[in-house]
Structure 1
């Protein structure tokens, strides 16, 4: 697990940043964020959460209402966008349709007064980097969406910026191509060691590509952590519900013994769970259990929680089954069962035992 970023190693820093457009509603609230040099950080959240506004302030297209932004030790919140040495990649590619691919990629160098011979050399390297070395003479309209996005990426990298910002760059691509481009961008980041700040509302994209993910909601970072930590140890109920699928069982925390607590559900059942900083003894809470952590017929396995249930629905999803179960005492639990796993026959209406460990079940805030 990576440690928090200290002031001495931060490459980008937001210090007490707030943003309002109307003087009343804060779109970004008291943002304090440090990003390492060479890090791939994703800003993730629903529409209106503040992630894109944060990116636009870093790019220079929006100005903080309060606070300041530092890049490589220099304050930049008053520096115009073209002076920030930042590359940008947008969802709509933003290529010049009347220019060839090579001219599009070379444009940032041309406006910086780089000599023609050097432009040609650097454009060739940039296109090779995104596997488009033979496409320099084509027009953007002659290329697929994925190829155009590679051109946009080459243009953002050709002038060797300090920082690359990406705003939903894969949103216009179909699922298969989007997943392919995610891996390509990730590998490119690893090869070049560049610092990337990436905005998306797609949780799987964020988990696939990032060193760390900052989850935004209502203008506030709810949690910032590596993907595995976000998924396995969400800090609150919003993060748990936004990242991946999970079962949610409302209850009240009755007691705690170290990290393990006892939670009573409305139907009278008691569940052993992991107590988090988001919940307290005596308070209402929301239990969060990932579907793949619930086991069917856990004979011989050490399970802190065991229940009887009836299968209400089975959905075939190729590599796994999604099994919706109704507990005898009420409430529903979804179980994800791998098709390669040894398991008893599963039929709608049949009764099965379920179980899960306390460490896989988190007691979070009831909000």
Structure 2
């Protein structure tokens, strides 16, 4: 587990930042967040969670109601956007349709008074960076969506900003192109060592691209962690439900011993689990188990929780099979089974043993 970002390491910092539009409802609540230099940090959350407002305050398009925003040790919350030296990439690309690719990319240099000769040189370098060197004379209307997004990225990088912000930049692309551009942006970040703050509501995109992810809900950061930690060790039930597929079983904590606890489900089954954000003994909780952590026909001693179940549904998904099982007590769990040659026969209505380890089952808050 990586340690939190110290004040010395911090390149971008939000300190007690709040934002309200009507003077009553806070869309961002007491936000404190530090971002390392060279880090790729994603702000992830559902619509209305505060992630885009946070990005817009960092860009300078929104003003905080309270708190401070720092960039490289200097307060910037009172600076206009053009004084912050921040690159910005939007979902709709925001290219000028009457300008060529080269003119679009060179525009930030033009408004900064850079000479024509230096502008031309830096435009060539930026377009080569995104593998569009031969497209300089084309107009935006002659480009595909992915090519337009690359032009927008080159324009954000051409003036060598301290920081690049990206607001749902791949939202308008189809699935295959979006996945390709995810890796393009990730590799570009690694090559240049730039600091990127990225906004998305797509959890798969966030996990794929980020060094760390800040999960927002109702204006509050629920957890900031590397992707693997978010997935494997969600801090609460919201993060567990929002990140990846998840079996959710409501229950009550019957006993606790250190990091482990016993949970009684509504159907009467008793489950051994890892105690995390749940309350104490006698309190309601929500058990979280990832479908791939549930084992069908586990060997003796391989799991802490073992049940008999009936297969209720089988869905073929190519590389894996999604199996919905009904435990004898009535609870339902979904199992993700790799589609390999020796996988067990899975017929609807048949009975199978299944189970999972206590360390793979987390007792979270019941909210």
Task: Give the TM-score, by structure 1 length.
Answer: 0.99
1:197-212 matches, cutoff 5 A:
197-212=197-212
1:129-278 matches, cutoff 5 A:
129-278=129-278
Task: Give the TM-score, by structure 2 length.
Answer: 0.99
Structure 2 CA distance for aligned equivalents of residues 263 and 94 of structure 1: 53
Give the SS at the match of 2:135: coil
Give the SS at the match of 1:7: coil
Residue 63 of structure 1, CA deviation: 0.3
Q: When the two structures are aligned, how many residues end up with a matched partner?
A: 367
C-alpha contact 2:277 2:363 (8 A) present in aligned 1: no
Structure 2 CA distance for aligned equivalents of residues 340 and 189 of structure 1: 36
Residue 301 of structure 1, CA deviation: 4.9
Pair 1:43-2:43 in alignment: yes
Give the SS at the match of 1:268: coil
The 1:63/1:23 distance shift into structure 2, 3 A limit, reads: same
- The C-alpha deviation readout for 1:167-222, integer Å capped at 9, x for no partner, is 00000000000000000000000000000000000000000000000000000000
Give the SS at the match of 2:229: helix
Structure 2 CA distance for aligned equivalents of residues 195 and 288 of structure 1: 34
1:107-122 matches, cutoff 5 A:
107-122=107-122
- The C-alpha deviation readout for 1:88-108, integer Å capped at 9, x for no partner, is 000000000000000000000
Structure 1 CA distance for aligned equivalents of residues 280 and 170 of structure 2: 41
Q: Which position in structure 2 is the counterpart of 1:348? A: 348
- Give the unaligned 5+ runs of structure 2: none
Q: Which position in structure 2 is the counterpart of 1:77? A: 77
Q: Which position in structure 2 is the counterpart of 1:314? A: 314
Give the stretch that moved more between structures: 297-306 or 209-218.
Answer: 297-306
Q: Which position in structure 1 is the counterpart of 2:334? A: 334
Residue 311 of structure 1, CA deviation: 0.5
The 1:341/1:291 distance shift into structure 2, 3 A limit, reads: farther
Q: Which position in structure 1 is the counterpart of 2:24? A: 24
- The C-alpha deviation readout for 1:253-294, integer Å capped at 9, x for no partner, is 111111111001111110000000343222100000000000
Structure 1 CA distance for aligned equivalents of residues 117 and 169 of structure 2: 30
Structure 2 CA distance for aligned equivalents of residues 149 and 129 of structure 1: 13
In the TM superposition, structure 1's runs of 4+ consecutive aligned residues that sit over 3 Å from their partners are none
Structure 2 CA distance for aligned equivalents of residues 99 and 305 of structure 1: 64
Structure 2 CA distance for aligned equivalents of residues 11 and 342 of structure 1: 51
Structure 2 CA distance for aligned equivalents of residues 165 and 50 of structure 1: 15
* RMSD between aligned residues: 0.8
Structure 1 CA distance for aligned equivalents of residues 188 and 2 of structure 2: 21
Give the SS at the match of 1:8: coil
C-alpha contact 1:235 1:278 (8 A) present in aligned 2: no
Structure 2 CA distance for aligned equivalents of residues 365 and 159 of structure 1: 47
Give the stretch that moved more between structures: 297-306 or 202-211.
Answer: 297-306
Structure 2 CA distance for aligned equivalents of residues 274 and 217 of structure 1: 24
Structure 2 CA distance for aligned equivalents of residues 98 and 62 of structure 1: 29
Structure 2 CA distance for aligned equivalents of residues 118 and 293 of structure 1: 56
Q: Which position in structure 1 is the counterpart of 2:67? A: 67
